[in-house]
Structure 1
Amino acid sequence: MRAGSTAARRAALAKSKPVPSAALVPPEIASATNKRCEDVLAFPAHDDHAPQIIPMGRLSRFPSLRDAIVPTLLPLLGHKSPSTRSRVIASLKSGLLAFFDEQSSGDMSPNDIDCDTISRFVWWLDRVVDDKAALSVGVRRSYLGDARMVLEPVSRETGNDRLAEAIREWPENPWPDAVRPSRELKTVPDAAAMSKLLRHCRDEIERRIEETEPLLAMFEAGDASDRLVAKALMLRELFIAGRAADPDYNVTDEVNAHCSQHMAHRFRKSFTPGAEELMPFIVVLLHYTRFNPAVLFDLRLSDVRKNSLGNAHRIVITARKRRPVDTWQTASFAIDASSTNPARLLDFLQRWTAIGREVVGSELYFVARGASRFGEIGPDIRNKGGGAIAGALTRMIKSAKVSNIPMKDMRKGVLDLVHLATGDTESVRKTGGQASQQVVIDHYRSHAAESRDIEMLARAAEERERWLLSDGRIDARKLPEKSDRSAATPGFSCLDRYASPMPGQKGQACHAYGQCPICPLAVMDLTSERSCAYAHLLLDAIERSFDGEDALSAGAYLGIWLPVAQRLADDWLPAFTDEARALAKKMDLPPLPEIE
């Protein structure tokens, strides 16, 4: 392993005393973990894992500034995710510190930072190289915002008046007119391919549970009458003792020393699953829960509970989503006897991974057998088994004979189906547990979802136009959500609203309210009681038009509405089925708007 690599630094530091706060690593550790012997920052990671190590880089060139910034970093970044810490410090190095590097020949202190310094920093961010901006607007905003975030607590701690004034006068957004770049629309898995993959996973799960369940029952009961179970009971004790004596204890060597090749293969499949064996369970649970992959991999035994109310039983999953401020993703399911019910899958996983979890002292469901030892797949799949997981998924997809489906896209595929069913971004957000609708739009909206959104927007604009042109008589808001809104009169459907032969309708969506009965493009569902009721209400509206001060003139009645009334009475109403007419009499619908 390369001496200067992140993994080497993390491993060396893990064996040292845990660092209680964001701090400079002691010189002797820095020498062992960084071949350039540069200062590094150490943050305690989540759940007492090894501290996160970040090289100081340019910050080491300004000792006075470094000594002022480092003590403030724990309260500022300690609760944030490792990736956020890395991003902020990288932004500080490439932004403010790079500017200081170019502008200053010596040390910098907080007292050297004033309003003029920040103005020159903004000018530096705006610099042009080869007739084009050196930095994009997004990068400029990031560098400026992260610099303020880091310097603000420094100004409070040091009490420096010049820096405090610079913070107060800090430019909020020097680039207000820049248009936010549109994000690339996401691709989602093909529904047919995803269905085929899920069927393949279901078959694998059923086969695995059928083969392994009896062995697990004997193992849990301590029944050594079966040779394989006897080996498993013995190896568990050897694993625990070996791991206690040596953290790098090789479980594979232990298995090979006590088992034949065939027995070792059966033991691994039945009692110590690897990524390959766990993959069908992972895919099905991702589909059920709609969790992010990292959230599912971080699922703990304590995150799952079962609730009962009378004869109704449910499983409730509440998993932590690691973010700068931790949030939670939840899912709940009725417990039934189906082969892939989440309760059954999680119960089996808890028993199946028990040896690995006991050896490493983990509370996670997904503890996998690696090449030589057990390990948590964990929340950070890039650093903990990500390669094995990706390879296992690729091989399973190949065996299922479906097109490639990245794991990160499975959640998007499920949420796209929610959008297809509801057409509502808020429903997608509630289903997926995103913080806001903007997150859904930025990260989960597919090409198809965008097209559906545009269609819905166009439909809403068209309905408003018809409402205005008809003086409020055509009001889609008063119709049931799933009703046909193509025609200008409730109860009717239109074959082509843009080709209406009615006078004055050319070139627009037809708004000839009440005249559908005499239009050749109008159709009705003659088995629908609602359509029958609306036809009666239209006839009532025509009859009411003779009453009151606003009664129709004889010319309007004879020329326009008498043909409509006759067509309703003679053709449309008699055509309805007896059942539709009987049910229509029982419906309580409000009167239709007046005709004119």
Structure 2
Amino acid sequence: MKKVRVSVAQKVVARARRLNQEQGNVHVLPTTRLERGTTDGKPTLTAVFPVKGGGEPHLLDLSFLLDFPLLAELFAEGLLQWGKSLDPKSRITRCGELRGYWFEYLSGSRLRDIPPERLDEQVMAGFVAWLYQKRKIDGQPLHPNTIRKAIGALRNVLENAPGSEALRDLVPAGPRGAMRKTKPTEVLQFDQLLQIMAGAEEEVLALRDRWDKGQRLFKLGHELLEQGAELESNPGKKKGKNPKSLLEPNLALAVAMLDKRYPGVIPDLVDIKTRDPRLGATIEFALGQSIATSYFYASSRDLVPLALCIAFATVFNSETVMRLKWQEIDRNVDRLGNDAVQFDFREGDHEEREDKAEDVEPDDPAKVPLVRITGDKPRAKRQLVRLLDPKASRPAQVSLNLVLDLLAALTSRIRPHVVAPEYRDRVFLFVQKNGPKQPKGFGNSTQAGSGDDVWKNALDSFIADHKLPDFNLKTLRATLLDFVQLFNRGDLEAAQKVGNHGSRLTTWTHYTSDLVKRLLQEATGETLMVRERWLDSGGKLDPRQHRESTNKGCATPGWLCLDPYDSPRPNQRKNRLCTAYGECPDCPLAAARPENPRNVMLYEALRRAVYRSITRVTSPVWQQRWVPVVVALDALLKDVQPAVLDRSRSLCIELPDVG
């Protein structure tokens, strides 16, 4: 009997049927889709993007499209198809551009009910004209690159929307050369950067003190509750205050009662007063709602200095900082590269845990575990890893350990009550004052964390409290990368490595200030000047050999020159590099360092070189040019301290002859 070869397709079908019989219906793979629903009675539209490898899908809120009923389906499908190939951050950014420009234009032009077939050349031309006329908050027009992105977002969506072939051709081109007009992010001055650091450290230390005070109140209050103590009444402002209600034991009792009655989020003052008027009055008139809740968890304003400290330590992208997760932080990295030993203690045995933690803490800094923070930047080709010393700070300064400990303490109470999956492991969690009392992080599926109004308002408050210049996390990162180049003499690769940029062009275009660019130009000029000096002297003079003792423009080693391109010496031309080797002691533009032994060593070497050349020059030239040089040099050497002179003679060097 002839054997029949089974095809691959038949094998797959047979296997699927067998799994279906053994395990029930085979699970359907998640797909990119649109979901409609309602929230608080309002209709919603959400784009669902599955995550490669499994996990929670990315949800993009498109409910704003429902305000444009005749365009909603077209643009929702276009965004869905276009967003398949994008990372979550790019989806949020592009959706924000479409909403903030195209749909804002339609809304302002009373075109909410326009159907797709009426999107003609006139509407598109009006959109472009609107972009050029639009002004930012500071009154400046939109940057050409911003206009390019706004038009590009519209074109990309229509290219992916089904049945919109005619529409995509109507979208005009963006401004020509917009990418070439891109400017780097404005950076801060060094003193401004130090002011921000000082303000952040000051607030972190205040947060630590406030948290410690809250823990003392908890302990005292629970002891009083166990003893059966009752809360003193607080009549409020109208009837006069009860002095006992303002004492620390009564405040501690109120805090403990809040802790016991509300194990998660503390409700609004109205709800507290409804349930217990006496407790509510104590909170309102003796503590204050904000102070009371600050003993339990962080507000958005509390997180600002902590986020700034993380940004300073990591130099991460602003969105990476805002969406940082605890799973991306490893606090037990051994300095030799192995995981540090971890100690587990039983829950509830607080005193024993604290004692043992103190006993096992290493005194030797070399044995303190490092902290590894991995930056999640989806668009990057590789994840950025920072290996940091958690105790690398002075006693009066803020350490990374303190920042992470505070973040863990300030969010531990509310973390179990987080509803949205995207916030559950976030490092930065808070309970907003307005709206639902739900713990959340910064940003959402349609908005970047650094663009969240809650974050921006909190940062503005920090800036106002410390009288700082306007800045954001993007400015901070650009400034730090700029100073990496500055401190490394314009090393672009050093900044590229710290910024995790795939191309040096990105670092140069977006993260290099005009100051550093001028520095690089000066460095190029110095290189040419050094090469010119070396060539003109026939290889006898190389300023690179005495970089610590002289500047590159000076004609004689060991001296400093105020203007090497405007020498007053004979036979020198203006705007040309001075070549008067050996004549610097008698030049009014020269400066000396008689307190430096290396410079004094070069001064004595020059004196010997001048006297060696006496037989090579004529008597008039010697009297006119070199005698004043020797006199000035001898006068300078007489002022040198004996100790400096002795140190300079420990090493002898010879300079080329003059003349």
Q: TM-score range by the shorter chain?
A: 0.5 to 0.7
Is residue 574 of structure 1 aligned with residue 650 of structure 2?
no
Is residue 390 of structure 1 aligned with residue 389 of structure 2?
no
Contact 1:22 1:73 in 2 (8 A): no
**Alignment correspondent of 2:388:** 332
**Alignment correspondent of 2:30:** 20
1:332–1:460 CA distance, 2 compared to 1 (3 A): same
Determine which of 242, 247, 257 is the counterpart of 1:231: 257
Query: Quick one: which amino acid aligns to residue 368 of structure 1?
Result: F
Q: Secondary structure of 1:586's partner?
A: coil
Q: Secondary structure of 2:530's partner?
A: helix
Is residue 583 of structure 1 aligned with residue 638 of structure 2?
no
1:71–1:396 CA distance, 2 compared to 1 (3 A): closer
Contact 1:488 1:516 in 2 (8 A): yes
Query: Quick one: which amino acid aligns to residue 48 of structure 2?
Result: A
Determine which of 527, 542, 557 is the counterpart of 1:475: 542
Question: Residues of 2 paired with 1:418 and 1:570: CA distance?
Answer: 44
Query: Quick one: which amino acid aligns to residue 358 of structure 1?
Result: P
Is residue 466 of structure 1 aligned with residue 533 of structure 2?
yes
What is the CA distance between 1:489 and its match in structure 2? Answer: 0.8
Query: Quick one: which amino acid aligns to residue 270 of structure 1?
Result: Y
- For residues 46-57 of structure 1, the aligned pairs below 5 Å read 48=56, 50-52=58-60
Question: Residues of 2 paired with 1:21 and 1:318: CA distance?
Answer: 32
Determine which of 83, 88, 91 is the counterpart of 1:82: 91
**Alignment correspondent of 1:316:** 371
Higher relative contact order (CA 8 A, sep 6+): 2
**Alignment correspondent of 1:365:** 427
**Alignment correspondent of 2:280:** 260
**Alignment correspondent of 1:116:** none
1:215–1:73 CA distance, 2 compared to 1 (3 A): closer
- For residues 127-526 of structure 1, the aligned pairs below 5 Å read 181-216=180-215, 225=224, 226-235=252-261, 237=263, 257=275, 259-260=279-280, 262-263=282-283, 264-302=289-327, 303-306=329-332, 310-312=364-366, 313=368, 315-325=370-380, 327-328=383-384, 330=386, 332-333=388-389, 335=391, 336=393, 337-360=395-418, 362-371=424-433, 372-378=436-442, 382-383=447-448, 386-426=452-492, 427-480=494-547, 483-508=550-575, 509-526=577-594
Structure 2: which 5+ residue stretches go unaligned?
1-26, 103-116, 118-128, 130-143, 160-175, 225-251, 284-288, 336-363
Contact 1:272 1:353 in 2 (8 A): yes
Question: Residues of 2 paired with 1:494 and 1:581: CA distance?
Answer: 23
- Of stretches 351-360 and 455-464 in structure 1, the one that deviates more from structure 2 is 455-464
What is the CA distance between 1:467 and its match in structure 2? Answer: 3.5
What is the CA distance between 1:373 and its match in structure 2? Answer: 2.5
1:265–1:573 CA distance, 2 compared to 1 (3 A): closer
Query: Quick one: which amino acid aligns to residue 405 of structure 1?
Result: F
Contact 1:202 1:280 in 2 (8 A): yes
Contact 1:466 1:474 in 2 (8 A): yes
Q: Secondary structure of 1:505's partner?
A: coil
The normalised TM-score by structure 2 is 0.60
What is the CA distance between 1:390 and its match in structure 2? Answer: 1.1
Deviation digits for residues 412-435 of structure 1, max 9, x if unmatched? Answer: 334444444443243444454444
1:291–1:463 CA distance, 2 compared to 1 (3 A): same
What is the CA distance between 1:85 and its match in structure 2? Answer: 7.0
Contact 1:201 1:284 in 2 (8 A): yes
Contact 2:561 2:591 in 1 (8 A): yes
Contact 1:493 1:522 in 2 (8 A): yes
1:280–1:60 CA distance, 2 compared to 1 (3 A): closer
Contact 1:499 1:506 in 2 (8 A): yes
**Alignment correspondent of 2:604:** 536
Contact 1:474 1:513 in 2 (8 A): no
Deviation digits for residues 179-213 of structure 1, max 9, x if unmatched? Answer: 96142243333544554454444443333322321
Contact 2:550 2:559 in 1 (8 A): no
The normalised TM-score by structure 1 is 0.66
Question: Residues of 1 paired with 2:413 and 2:212: CA distance?
Answer: 15
Contact 2:324 2:426 in 1 (8 A): yes
Q: Secondary structure of 1:210's partner?
A: helix
Contact 1:45 1:52 in 2 (8 A): no
What is the CA distance between 1:498 and its match in structure 2? Answer: 2.7
CA RMSD of aligned residues (A): 5.2
Deviation digits for residues 310-361 of structure 1, max 9, x if unmatched? Answer: 3343652413232324532526245153342221122122112211222217
What is the CA distance between 1:386 and its match in structure 2? Answer: 1.4
Q: Secondary structure of 1:181's partner?
A: helix
Contact 1:44 1:78 in 2 (8 A): no
Question: Residues of 2 paired with 1:59 and 1:473: CA distance?
Answer: 77
Contact 2:376 2:384 in 1 (8 A): yes
Deviation digits for residues 535-592 of structure 1, max 9, x if unmatched? Answer: 233345456669xxxx957689957986488447733433322122111122466x44
Query: Quick one: which amino acid aligns to residue 332 of structure 1?
Result: L
1:503–1:18 CA distance, 2 compared to 1 (3 A): farther
What is the CA distance between 1:387 and its match in structure 2? Answer: 0.8
Query: Quick one: which amino acid aligns to residue 187 of structure 2?
Result: V
Identity within the alignment, %:
19
Query: Quick one: which amino acid aligns to residue 375 of structure 1?
Result: P
